[in-house]
Chain A
Amino acid sequence: GNSVTQMEGPVTLSEEAFLTINCTYTATGYPSLFWYVQYPGEGLQLLLKATKADDKGSNKGFEATYRKETTSFHLEKGSVQVSDSAVYFCALIGDSGGSNYKLTFGKGTLLTVNP
């Protein structure tokens, strides 16, 4: 079945530092890949996505590139802010309908950014 492995952390950075959170996946075919963010006390929000190989998803200064050759979708941001403190989840969804069409999540990475 499909699976997602992400750096578990926690990760603690100073403001304006560079962020990388690694994510690799196992899936058949061509899944769609996602990063979701969960701010304290809230539900999950889609941060960015990529639906085919070599696509780059980007939003709010975050980026991730769908690398099929390395089955990876690493999240990066050049300069983090205190407001980026949250839990980040890497996820995938299968490329066909039926029983393959379900979101599979990594375990999440807690990011804390200090001023």
Chain B
Amino acid sequence: DAGITQSPRYKITETGRQVTLMCHQTWSHSYMFWYRQDLGHGLRLIYYSAAADITDKGEVPDGYVVSRSKTENFPLTLESATRSQTSVYFCASSEYSTVNTEAFFGQGTRLTVV
């Protein structure tokens, strides 16, 4: 199916554990993004990628690691989860265009760190 999918949809993990959130898109978009959504903060950019093997930090990158070995995948890893990383995480993809710009979002992953 075409689109952008995130997995898992829900995850509960313990403090200190490593956890990886997956994101896969089928359009071969160049750009991919990870956001976290928290009450009172809206959506904040964690990391983004302009192409395979090119990644950049966003607004709140501390405690997260990303990789992009293939254009269609952009996993987000929490190396040692903390309670402050409890959030809803959204992945998005887009193709750079000056006239028809749009970003497409996954359904989100609700992560709870206990």
Contact = CB atoms under 8 A, between A and B. Distances in A.
Interface stretch (B61-69, B72-80, B100-108): B100-108
A103 B92 contact: yes
Contacts of A101: 31, 50, 94, 96
Interface in A35-62: 36, 42-46, 49, 51
A90 to B, nearest CB: 10
A105 B105 CA distance: 13
A36 B90 CA distance: 13
Contacts, number: 61
Interface in A96-110: 97-99, 101-108
A108 B42 contact: yes
Nearest to B6: A43
29 contacts: A32-B101, A34-B103, A43-B90, A43-B106, A43-B108, A44-B43, A46-B102, A49-B101, A49-B102, A51-B101, A89-B42, A89-B43, A93-B101, A93-B103, A95-B98, A99-B56, A101-B50, A101-B94, A101-B96, A103-B45, A103-B92, A103-B94, A103-B103, A104-B45, A105-B35, A106-B42, A107-B41, A108-B42, A108-B43
